[in-house]
């Protein structure tokens, strides 16, 4: 009898029914993150780039208060999403994930300065553009397939994939007419169509590699960032640079159409759109300061190294001249996971996306 009890206990421990209970298991077996500086958690640290932030005061509110390469004072929206999904650790950057495939929970491929187009952000130096993020994903998948054989695909089908990219195709490309040719070649509508064509191609590759639960973040109102207001000046009678926001909203409209098209084409997959811009409008109303950064910034809009940031980060929308504070990221992550207004996600939020069979 005692032996039976011991083997039952042993069985429970081996199968993960430990003292923390079944609910401690994450809702998906793994989480893959693609994107730019809004999601980067250290992928740029080893690159020669001006778009890297592994220095103080970045990370001042991160556990232990150390810089990690995240472009914020604390967690990013994808960190929050990972926590909501029940992951106990943050999803590691690509190089770290490669070194710890034995305890695989996903990969963060995101890179500051990166865009949908390979040339986007070229003036910033090294960065991992979307093409290369997809190549890195294929490397990871081939290693997993080698390790797990035929079971790998079934697992990849159940994982969550989020993409938050395209901001730099405007900030570090289209709206820098002296350095990039795109605005001389294309109207905002043509440019958005070009970006969506590239994006659509990458999403097809993602699908072919087993992705079945994909959330695509729309772009934020870039024209309301202190950096763009400093460069272009707010539009007369507006708090923001209106033509930048108008261009971004064209992209977002086309992204929603793409989501609808992908859902119609791939009936065994679910794609969803997260309404960043819409959430930004209601979120910023809850903050005291929305037109200047919390940290003292350099001319490129990133924080000055070793400078003292504002005392109460929760009062600010912007941490530096481009990136939101953890307080804003927490709201974005929370609402992307579980929508608070029906417009937050289309057709479903992440909590529903991960539950689809
Ligand atoms: C800005 O608005 C003011 C008041 O409405 C107007 O007098 C001025 O001409 C406008 N300036 C420009 C550049 O449109
Ligand atoms: C989600 O995907 C499932 C198939 O996996 C499909 O039956 C369902 O209609 C999809 N839901 C939406 C809202 O697209
Ligand atoms: C920010 O807004 C406040 C209140 O509307 C205003 O007093 C301040 O001058 C603005 N700061 C900048 C940098 O535009
Ligand atoms: C910081 O700001 C938040 C939001 O305005 C407020 O709730 C909180 O009490 C402030 N904290 C301190 C220490 O002043």
**Extents of the domains making up the chain:** 2-353
Q: 100 CA to middle of ligand 4, Å?
A: 39
Q: 325 CA to middle of ligand 4, Å?
A: 14
What ligand has the least distance to the C-alpha of 242? Answer: 1
Whose tokens are 């690159």? That residue is 47
Flag whether pLDDT at 6 surpasses 80.
no
CA distance 98 to 154: 20
pLDDT value of position 146: 74
Q: 228 CA to middle of ligand 3, Å?
A: 15
pLDDT value of position 20: 37
Q: 292 CA to middle of ligand 3, Å?
A: 8
Choose between 318 and 149: higher pLDDT: 318
286 pocket-lining for ligand 4 (C-beta < 6 Å): no
The residue to mutate among 291, 315, 316, having the most atoms of ligand 3 within 8 angstroms of its beta carbon, is 291
Q: Give 199's contacts (C-beta < 8 A, 6+ positions apart).
A: 116, 130, 165, 166, 255, 258
pLDDT value of position 337: 98
Other CB atoms within a 10 A radius of the CB of residue 13 amount to 11
- The mean pLDDT value for 170-196 works out to 98
Choose between 151 and 230: higher pLDDT: 230
Q: Give 264's contacts (C-beta < 8 A, 6+ positions apart).
A: none
356 pocket-lining for ligand 2 (C-beta < 6 Å): yes
pLDDT value of position 193: 98
pLDDT value of position 19: 34
pLDDT value of position 23: 56
User: What confidence tens digit (pLDDT) does each residue in 53-110 have?
Assistant: 999 999 999 988 899 999 999 999 999 999 999 999 999 999 999 999 888 999 999 9
343 pocket-lining for ligand 4 (C-beta < 6 Å): no
- The mean pLDDT value for 229-255 works out to 96
Establish how many alpha carbons lie within 13 A of residue 169's alpha carbon, considering only the half-sphere containing its beta carbon: 26
Question: Which residue lies with its CA nearest to atom 9 of ligand 3?
Answer: 291
Largest CA distance in the chain: 82
Flag whether pLDDT at 218 surpasses 60.
yes
Q: 77 CA to middle of ligand 3, Å?
A: 27
Question: Percentage of the chain with pLDDT > 90?
Answer: 87
pLDDT value of position 327: 97
Question: Which residue lies with its CA nearest to atom 9 of ligand 1?
Answer: 236
What ligand has the least distance to the C-alpha of 265? Answer: 2
2-353 to CATH, choices 3.40.50.620, 3.40.630.30, 3.40.50.300, 3.40.50.1110? 3.40.50.1110
Question: Could you give phi then psi for residue 331, rounded to 5 degrees?
Answer: -70, -45
pLDDT value of position 24: 78
Q: Are 273 and 216 in contact (CB under 8 A)?
A: yes
Active site (catalytic) residues: 37, 320, 323
315 pocket-lining for ligand 4 (C-beta < 6 Å): yes
Closest CA to 252 of 273, 225, 229: 273
- Summary mean pLDDT of the chain: 93
pLDDT value of position 21: 39
Confidence of residue 148 (pLDDT cuts 50, 70, 90): confident
pLDDT value of position 18: 31
Flag whether pLDDT at 150 surpasses 90.
no
Question: Percentage of the chain with pLDDT > 70?
Answer: 94
């Amino acid at each position: 009898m005692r032996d039976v009890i011991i083997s039952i206990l042993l069985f429970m421990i081996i199968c993960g029914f430990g003292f923390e209970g079944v609910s401690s298991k994450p809702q998906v077996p793994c989480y893959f993150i693609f994107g730019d500086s809004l999601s980067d958690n250290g992928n740029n640290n080893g690159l020669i780039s001006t778009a890297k932030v592994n220095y103080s005061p970045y990370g001042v509110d991160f556990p232990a208060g150390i810089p990690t390469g995240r472009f914020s004072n604390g967690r990013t929206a994808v960190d929050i999403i990972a926590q909501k999904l029940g992951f106990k650790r943050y999803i590691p950057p690509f190089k770290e994930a490669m070194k710890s495939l034995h305890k695989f929970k996903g990969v963060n491929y995101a890179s500051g300065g990166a865009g949908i187009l390979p040339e986007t952000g070229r003036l910033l130096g090294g960065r991992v553009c979307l093409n290369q993020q997809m190549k890195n994903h294929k490397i990871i998948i081939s290693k997993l397939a080698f390790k797990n054989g035929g079971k790998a695909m079934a697992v990849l089908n159940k994982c969550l994939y989020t993409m938050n990219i395209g901001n730099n195709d405007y900030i570090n490309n289209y709206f820098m007419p002296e350095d990039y040719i795109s605005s001389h070649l294309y109207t905002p509508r043509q440019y958005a169509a070009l970006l969506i064509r590239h994006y659509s191609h990458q999403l097809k590759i993602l699908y072919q590699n087993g992705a079945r639960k994909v959330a695509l973040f729309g772009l934020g109102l870039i024209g309301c960032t202190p950096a763009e207001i400093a460069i272009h000046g707010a539009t007369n009678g507006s708090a923001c640079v209106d033509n930048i926001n108008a261009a971004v909203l064209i992209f977002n409209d086309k992204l929603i159409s793409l989501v609808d098209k992908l859902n119609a084409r791939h009936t065994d997959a679910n794609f969803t759109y997260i309404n960043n811009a819409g959430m930004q409008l209601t979120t910023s109303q809850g903050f005291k300061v929305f037109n200047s950064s919390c940290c003292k910034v350099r001319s490129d809009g990133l924080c000055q190294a070793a400078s003292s940031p504002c005392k109460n980060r929760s009062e600010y929308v912007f941490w530096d001249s481009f990136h939101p504070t953890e307080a804003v990221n927490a709201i974005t992550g929370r609402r992307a996971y579980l929508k608070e207004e029906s417009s937050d996600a289309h057709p479903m939020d992440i909590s529903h996306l991960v539950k689809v069979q």
